[in-house]
Amino acid sequence: MFYDAQIAGLPDSSPAVRLMKRRSADDLRARRGGIVSAVRDLADLEFVNGGGTGSLEVTGSDPVVTELAAGSGLLGPTLFDGYNAFTPTPVAAFALPVVRRPARDVVTLFSGGYLASRPPGWSRVPSVHSPAGLQLVKTEGTGEVQTPVRGRAARDLELGDGVWLRHAKAGELCERFDEVHLVRARELVDIVPTYRGEGQNFG
């Protein structure tokens, strides 16, 4: 199993990053081939796994790789919005209720500080998905107690209304909720436990 975090988990944020990813992909292609050849001298390999959501097109072109693995990017969290090779379709979101209205164009949501792992920063914070026209307050961000959002769309929100947010990464989202509701065309299809399962969450 091969996983290239420096390619698969790194958005194309600058020319320097894109250059590093290209050079790393070339290096890994040679190294993967050598490793697979060495292992096959000792044992049969039924499959060779590689990739991550952010590197499927690169790893998939390597002839020694027999299967690809895509992780949280299948749900289209915001971390993958910054890749040049593909544009994810968001399929997962969570709703926070409006609990206060401190100003005409501002509402405060309950809780919401579901930060993704790795070094802190705005790339690890959930973002407002719906309704359109809302954004986080930069001096506040998302918090364990409250999350204020600002924009003209706030004028139409009442106490108790839900605001939908997308998480930066899918794993952290699954740590905060016991269940995932599967919806197709506004119809609830199923309710399934998160990968933590057994009615447990850690948030």
Q: What is the pLDDT of residues 57-97, one digit of tens each?
A: 899 999 999 999 988 888 889 989 989 988 888 999 999 99
Q: What is the mean pLDDT of the chain?
A: 90
- Rounded CA-CA distance 105/111 in Å is 19
Strand spans (E) along the chain: 49-50, 67-68, 94-103, 106-110, 127-130, 135-136, 146-150, 162-166, 179-184, 187-193
pTM of the model: 0.82
Q: What is the pLDDT of residues 117-137, one digit of tens each?
A: 877 788 889 999 999 999 999
Domain limits of the chain?
5-70, 94-168
- What local confidence, expressed as pLDDT, does residue 70 receive? 86
| Residues near 47 by beta carbon (within 8 Å), at least 6 away in sequence | 66, 67
Only one residue has tokens 């050598």, namely 34
Listed range (34-38, 112-116, 127-131) with the worst mean pLDDT: 112-116
